[in-house]
């Protein structure tokens, strides 16, 4: 791949902007500045440097964020900043999208990617990807509420009961709820239908991914090795792409 195409693919701007970075001597590989925009670059496993910062070449990007409260999972947020504003411009330029959505006031694990296949697999209701939430609830939890959540509660937009894969009281006001669906405000509405009220909501896990304990609100990290680790476990999707 030519150097200019490589920079474009990694989110460094338009062809014109990438050309300018190269001709200004700001791009180097292995400590050597490259000023030839058409230099042929072997991009597998490549680490390159732009303006003194190192970047690893990534065909696709997978990001795991600890979503802070007060941020919307939207490209065009209405009332609060977008979670995308927490990422470097190079990632925003790649058109990252959130894998599903969390409410503005929900915190915790959020995946973002520019890989359409991954997005499809992880948001498809048919794939039954489990999401584990920790909800702080207003009233003490009781057995009837937990049983209702497990057996299924009826939400106003769907006649079929919606059930939790599991509902566990970690303490009187802390509910661990595992869901496979992705309906709008699903946790809050299910808990309300069971006779309680969510006061704070945090996502701890989604499918294979767990929020690292040391990732603070607003922080994010790359998730690598997705294709090697995940695709073989999703037989219908294996071999695609």
Residues serving a catalytic function are 103
What is the rounded CA–CA span in Å between residue 185 and residue 183?
A: 6
Say whether residue 21 binds ligand URA (CB under 6 A). no
The 143-182 contact track toward ligand URA, x by CB under 6 A, reads ----------------------------------------
Q: Is 6 exposed, middle or buried (0-12, 13-18, 19+ CB in 10 A)?
A: buried
Q: Are 16 and 1 in contact (CB under 8 A)?
A: no
Is there a contact between 138 and 201 (Cβ–Cβ < 8 Å)?
Answer: no
For 44, residues 6+ apart whose C-beta sits below 8 A from its C-beta are 57
Token pair listed for 174: 């802390």
Q: Is 227 in the site for ligand URA (CB under 6 A)?
A: no
- Name which of 94 and 188 has its Cβ closer to ligand URA: 188
- Three-class SS state of 194: coil
Minimum CB distance to ligand URA smaller for 66 or for 106: 106
Instruction: Determine, following the binding rule CB under 6 A, whether residue 188 of this chain makes contact with ligand URA.
Output: yes
- Using CB under 6 A as the binding rule, whether residue 204 contacts ligand URA is answered as no
Question: Binding of ligand URA at residue 201 (CB under 6 A)?
Answer: yes
Nearer Cβ to ligand URA, position 6 or 102? 102
**Contact residues for ligand URA, defined by CB under 6 A:** 102-103, 106, 185-188, 201
């Amino acid at each position: 791949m030519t150097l200019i195409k490589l920079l474009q693919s990694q989110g460094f701007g338009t062809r014109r902007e990438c050309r300018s970075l190269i001709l200004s001597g700001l791009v180097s590989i292995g400590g050597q500045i490259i000023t030839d925009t058409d230099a042929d670059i072997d991009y597998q496993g490549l680490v390159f440097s732009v303006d003194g910062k190192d970047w690893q070449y990534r065909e696709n990007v997978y990001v795991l964020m600890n979503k802070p409260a007060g941020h919307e999972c939207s490209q065009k947020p209405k009332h609060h900043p977008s979670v995308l504003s927490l990422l470097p411009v190079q990632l925003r330029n790649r058109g990252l999208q959130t894998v599903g959505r969390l409410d503005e006031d929900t915190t915790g694990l959020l995946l973002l990617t520019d890989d359409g296949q991954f997005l499809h697999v992880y948001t498809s209701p048919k794939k039954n990807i489990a999401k584990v939430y920790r909800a702080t609830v207003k009233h003490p939890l009781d057995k009837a509420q937990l049983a209702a959540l497990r057996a299924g509660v009826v939400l106003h937009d769907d006649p079929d009961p919606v059930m939790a894969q599991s509902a566990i009281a970690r303490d009187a006001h802390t509910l661990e709820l595992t869901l496979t669906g992705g309906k709008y405000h699903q946790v809050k509405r299910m808990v309300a239908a069971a006779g309680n009220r969510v006061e704070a909501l945090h996502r701890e896990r989604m499918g294979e991914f767990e929020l690292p304990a040391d990732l603070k609100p607003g922080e994010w990290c790359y998730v690598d090795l997705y294709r090697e680790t995940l695709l073989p476990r999703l037989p219908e999707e294996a071999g695609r792409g």
